[in-house]
Amino acid sequence: MIEFTHQIPTKIIFGPDKLGQLGTELAAFGKKVLVVYGGGSIKRNGIFDKAVESMQEAGLTWFEQGGVEPNPKVTSVQAGADLCKKEGIDVILAIGGGSVIDCAKGIAAAAFYDGDAWDLPTHKAPIGRCLPIVSILTLAATGSEMDPVGVISNKDTEQKLVISNPALRPAVSFLDPTLTYSVSAFQTASGSADIMSHIMEDYFVDGDGSMYMLDRIKEGMMKTVIHYAPIAIADPTNYEARANLMWTSSWAINGFTGALCNCEWTNHMIEHELSAIYDITHGLGLAIVTPRWMRYVLDDTTAPKMKEFAVNVFGVDASLPDKEAALKGIECLEDFFFNKLGLKSTLTEIGIGEENLEVMAKKACNGKETLNGWRVLTPAQIVEILKACL
Ligand code: NZQ
Ligand code: ZN
């Protein structure tokens, strides 16, 4: 049966030169702002200065939590939460990509929790009250700017875990495609692979998880990424390409396309274990894993949906038998990730060997016997998929 609740309250302010409104948007939540950012790209490209100007005009006071790492660490979350408590912060301003926004979500939740911030991703404590978040997105990829999820890593335990709560959706997100002009070719490629994967994880579902209208929209979104990502890589200041990627990133994971998805995200669960141990770029890991997963689960029951993907997304000949068309679709996906986007195609190339395959496969099941995606996988089967990635 088709039934769901749809509520996406994030206010989106899309387009260039909108940061003049930032101070007013922040002031709606109070006077004291914690600005969270990463390794310094926002200071080099002038975004920080524009944000400061607008906060000054609105008479706000701000504190800084910089240095948030890609695959943000719980230590950054804890430091930010401690600062919020000490200074009585009213609202968090996250300026950056998914790592910065996710870290801000961790801080927003931990700011009202008296224990260790790691208790929240490990479910030792429930997420309660959260600080409001305003974001300025600088990299089109994760969709964190419009979703209720944050992904936090712990180096000591080699875990990468999700926090999720409706209160963690940013209240306001500024989406200015020109702010992504400075994103490197590699991060543009990885981000585009991540967007593709978000759509695919919700596309490859059965029965109640599927809906004709949503499937056609998802195919349109995938075609958008396939069309515009190579353009953005070749021509980084192409506004049309950057704008299309940015808006697709938000809608790929904000709950709209996944409203009916009834299973776990297989490739994400596997990739999170890769980046938990090896700290690799998320989208790169997804690009390596996804085609191998598709080949592994391809059988008579999955072939029809994979053929639909091949025909509708990559224009594969619809008259081919299901499995043949499905395989051609997988080849097209590999060509997109590894030739058009230029991403490395194996784990070996990025320095990952056989040493942790069993550990990662077990952890990908997240405490259960199996990983319950489109096709249920045992740890031994996940090892087979990872071996195919080497
Ligand atoms: O740290 P700075 O200096 O800002 O540099 C970053 C970083 O080195 C750089 N960058 C960002 N914007 C830039 C820029 N460089 C130049 N110009 C700009 N405008 O790009 C590098 C990567 O940034 P990061 O934020 O790590 O990338 P991404 O947005 O791909 O985020 C990845 C993280 O998000 C998680 C991933 O697992 C990973 O930890 N995810 C979050 C999700 C969510 N919240 O829903 C879902 C995803 O599936 C994913 O798991
Ligand atoms: Zn992702």
User: Which residues lie below 8 Å from residue 184, measured CB to CB, with a gap of 6+?
Assistant: none
Summarised one tens digit per residue, pLDDT across range 113-128 is 999 999 999 999 999 9
Q: Is the CB of 67 under 6 A from ligand 1?
A: no
Mode of pairing for the β-strands spanning 159-164 and 149-154: antiparallel
Mean pLDDT of 268-295: 98
pLDDT at position 10, please? Answer: 98
Whole-angstrom Cα distance, residue 16 to residue 115?
Answer: 41
- Which pLDDT tens digit goes with each residue over 89-102? 999 999 999 999 99
39 ligand 1 Cβ < 6 A: yes
Is the minimum distance from the CB of 276 to ligand 1 under 6 angstroms? Answer: no
Matching residue, tokens 């000490």:
86
pLDDT band at 260 (very low <50, low <70, confident <90, very high): confident
Nearest of 81, 20, 77, 87 to residue 54 by alpha carbon: 20
How sure is the predictor about 262, in pLDDT bands with cuts at 50, 70 and 90?
confident
Please, which pLDDT band fits residue 209 given cuts at 50, 70 and 90?
confident
Atom of ligand 1 nearest to the CA of 38: 1
Q: Can you tell me whether residue 205 is helix, strand or coil?
A: coil
Atom of ligand 1 nearest to the CA of 101: 44
Indicate whether residue 187 lines ligand 1 (CB < 6 A): yes
Both structure tokens of 98: 């998914």
Per-residue H/E/C for 148-198: CEEEEEECCCCEEEEEECHHHCCCEEEECHHHHCCCCHHHHHHHHHHHHHH
For residue 263, give both structure tokens. Answer: 């299973």
Residue nearest to atom 50 of ligand 1 (CA): 151
Ligand 1 atom with least separation from CA of 197: 48
Nearest ligand by distance to the CA of 96: 1
Angular region, 125: left φ>0, alpha ψ -120 to 50, beta rest: beta
**What are the structural domains, with CATH classification, of the chain?**
11-179 (3.40.50.1970), 185-389 (1.20.1090.10)
Ligand 1 touching residue 342 (CB < 6 A): no
Residue 242 near ligand 1, beta carbon < 6 Å: no
Residue whose CA is at the smallest distance from ligand 1 atom 22: 70
pLDDT level of residue 278 (50, 70, 90 thresholds): very high
Cα separation, 230 vs 222, in Å, equals 13
What's the token pair of residue 172? 């306001």
Mean pLDDT over each residue of the chain, to the nearest integer: 97
345-373 pLDDT per residue, tens: 999 999 999 999 999 999 999 999 999 99
Q: Cα torsion at 352, 249, 370, 72 (round to 10°)?
A: 50
